[in-house]
């Protein structure tokens, strides 16, 4: 029986790399398997199929997220099965973890891994290699004599430090980014999960509202290893909530500064923010903070269990305005189930207020997507949403084209979806901080005032500024939702 295992990630742009698959691949490699990770763009799928088949792997594992990425995973799995019908295809990640039974309805998916994969995939690989009964493997679903079997879940990993990434599994040179800054940086995840209960977030179902972290020693060691291997001098933290344990977070940031590594970006909740924390992270060189404020409507904030009010959001952003050298990526969502146009306008107006006080901003008004396993998903269904019945249909779960079917909003239509798309694009033009050249600075100022006018007056037609955003901005999404850097 072959010892080869292929892990496949079809990425959205040149520098995205699969941290989840790296953890899984590293665990498999330590268990004695020969692991090959393919991290490719969608247009590179066909030219890599033959290479994968030639390896005759024990299985091919794909990391799958809900939305456009699901459609890409469908296409890839179908192509692999066409070339070798006996090849075992394993889906893992958030999407199959939340709806494993539906994923297994498709002929091109043989097994799904539910939840964290490090322990489960090693157990699965050993069972497949030995021809053992898969019913003994916790945390998977599979097919047995045309029946779908969902095994008992596997408990969450107790000690994350037991799993260290083997960076030799990928080409680190392809993972270094410089968008936003001249710093050479990579992404890193120091913790998993979030203890809060936002109604639109996958965390409650996937991580059971548990927050677990690597120790400071583990994080420090891995980041220094990364610096030595790749020459980076910056880190972006991909943690869902980096500041759950504030003393630990500050200790890590202080270590980075002492070793000449900049924290390019981290994510935190607004409600934890105070003057002391903000002043400390400013002194430690944090360049960008991502926060989700979600809505300008108190009713919607209560509905999604955000545990913060509009008035408190305003106070928190006033704190940010005192530190203009810290950029703020401020994320909101429009189109929640039961939301009215008037409540969406409250969110738009609050976004304008935030942008006015914080020039170095990235304001987003993302269209709500009903992700499986969330409270808002169930509410959307009650409000008229008809969720996909097959994996191939999940590709319609995207807002990159402005054609999302807003079935859960009885007052919305196709034009509403296009307006939502434009609202988000105009939000991205609200950054009016000085740019790299006088001409770019002038261009940003013009777009800022035009976008303010449009959002304030709800005038979303003839959107020539959006063309300018795609044409001249250094960082943007193309028509297929892939990040491009100029």
Q: Does residue 328 share a domain with residue 373?
A: yes
Q: Does residue 102 share a domain with residue 29?
A: yes
| Of the residues 150, 168, 194, the one at which a domain ends | 150
Q: Which residues contact residue 347 at a Cβ distance below 8 angstroms, ignoring those fewer than 6 apart? A: 295, 296, 297, 300, 332, 334, 365
Identify the bridge partners of residue 332 per DSSP, sorted by sequence position: 294, 365
At 15 the pLDDT is: 65
| Of the residues 150, 170, 189, the one at which a domain ends | 150
E strands, 273-351, are: 288-294, 327-334
Q: Does residue 208 share a domain with residue 138?
A: no
| Of the residues 119, 150, 181, the one at which a domain ends | 150
Q: For position 452, which CATH number holds?
A: 3.80.30.20
Residue among 233, 295, 226 at smallest CA distance from 264: 233
Identify the bridge partners of residue 187 per DSSP, sorted by sequence position: 236
Q: Does residue 188 share a domain with residue 121?
A: no
**Containing structural domain, residue 453:** 160-485
How many Å apart are CA 263 and CA 180, to the nearest integer? 13
The tens-digit pLDDT sequence of the chain (486 residues) is 689 999 998 876 666 778 899 999 999 999 999 999 998 888 888 889 999 999 999 999 999 999 888 989 999 999 999 999 999 999 999 999 999 999 999 999 999 999 999 999 999 999 999 999 999 999 999 999 889 999 999 999 999 999 999 999 988 888 888 876 678 999 999 999 999 999 999 888 888 889 999 999 999 999 999 999 999 999 999 999 999 999 999 999 999 999 999 999 999 999 999 999 999 999 999 999 999 999 999 999 999 999 999 999 999 999 999 999 999 999 999 999 999 999 999 999 999 999 999 999 999 999 999 999 899 999 999 999 999 999 989 988 887 777 888 999 999 999 999 999 999 999 999 999 998 889 889 988 999 999 999 999 999 988 888 877 666 554 444 433 334 444
Q: Does residue 325 share a domain with residue 218?
A: yes
Q: For position 55, which CATH number holds?
A: 3.40.50.280
Q: Does residue 176 share a domain with residue 136?
A: no
> 418 phi and psi, to 5 degrees?
-65, -40
Model confidence, pTM: 0.92
Evaluate whether residue 44 is within a structural domain.
yes
Evaluate whether residue 438 is within a structural domain.
yes
Q: Does residue 121 share a domain with residue 210?
A: no
Q: Does residue 393 share a domain with residue 274?
A: yes
At 475 the pLDDT is: 46
Q: How many domains does the chain have?
A: 2
Q: Does residue 389 share a domain with residue 319?
A: yes
Q: Does residue 54 share a domain with residue 189?
A: no
At 183 the pLDDT is: 86
At 204 the pLDDT is: 82
């Amino acid at each position: 029986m072959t010892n080869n295992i292929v892990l496949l990630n079809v990425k959205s742009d040149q520098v995205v790399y699969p941290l989840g698959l790296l953890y899984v691949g590293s665990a498999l490699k330590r268990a004695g398997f020969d692991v090959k990770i393919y991290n490719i763009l969608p247009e590179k799928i066909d030219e890599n199929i033959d290479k994968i088949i030639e390896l005759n792997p024990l299985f091919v594992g794909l990391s799958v997220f809900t939305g456009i990425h699901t459609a890409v995973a469908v296409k890839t799995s179908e192509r692999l099965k066409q070339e070798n019908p006996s090849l075992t295809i394993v889906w893992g990640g958030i999407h199959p973890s939340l709806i494993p039974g539906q994923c297994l309805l498709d002929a091109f998916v043989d097994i799904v891994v539910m939840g964290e994969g490090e322990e489960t995939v090693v157990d699965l690989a050993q069972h497949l290699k030995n021809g053992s009964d898969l019913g003994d493997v916790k945390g998977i679903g599979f097919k047995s004599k045309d029946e779908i079997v969902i095994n008992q879940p596997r408990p969450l990993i107790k000690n994350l430090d037991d799993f260290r990434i083997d960076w030799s599994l990928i080409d680190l040179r392809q993972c270094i980014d410089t968008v936003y800054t001249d710093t050479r940086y990579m992404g890193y995840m120091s913790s998993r999960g979030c203890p809060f209960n936002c109604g639109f977030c996958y965390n409650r179902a996937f991580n059971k509202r548990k927050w677990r972290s690597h120790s400071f020693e583990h994080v420090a060691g891995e980041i220094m290893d990364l610096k030595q291997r790749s020459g980076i001098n910056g880190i972006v933290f991909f943690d869902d909530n980096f500041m759950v344990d504030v003393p630990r977070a500050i200790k890590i940031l202080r270590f980075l500064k002492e070793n000449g590594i900049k924290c390019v970006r981290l994510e935190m909740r607004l409600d934890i923010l105070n003057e002391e924390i903000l002043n400390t992270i400013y002194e430690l060189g944090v360049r960008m903070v991502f926060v989700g404020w979600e809505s300008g409507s108190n009713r919607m904030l209560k509905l999604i269990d955000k545990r913060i009010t509009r008035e408190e959001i305003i106070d928190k952003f006033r704190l940010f305005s005192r530190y203009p050298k810290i950029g703020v990526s401020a994320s909101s969502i429009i189109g929640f189930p039961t939301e009215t146009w008037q409540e969406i306008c409250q969110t738009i107006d609050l976004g304008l207020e935030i942008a006015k006080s914080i020039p170095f901003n990235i304001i987003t008004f993302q269209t709500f997507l009903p992700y499986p396993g969330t409270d808002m998903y169930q509410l959307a269904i009650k409000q008229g949403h008809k969720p996909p019945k097959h994996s191939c249909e999940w590709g319609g779960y995207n807002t990159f084209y402005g054609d999302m079917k807003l079935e859960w909003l009885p007052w919305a239509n196709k034009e509403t979806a296009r307006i939502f798309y434009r609202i988000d694009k105009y939000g991205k033009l609200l950054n009016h901080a000085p740019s790299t050249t006088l001409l770019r600075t002038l261009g940003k100022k013009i777009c800022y005032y035009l976008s303010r006018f449009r959002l304030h007056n709800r005038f979303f037609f003839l959107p020539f500024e959006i063309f300018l955003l795609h044409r001249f901005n250094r960082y943007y999404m193309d028509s297929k939702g892939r990040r491009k850097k100029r």
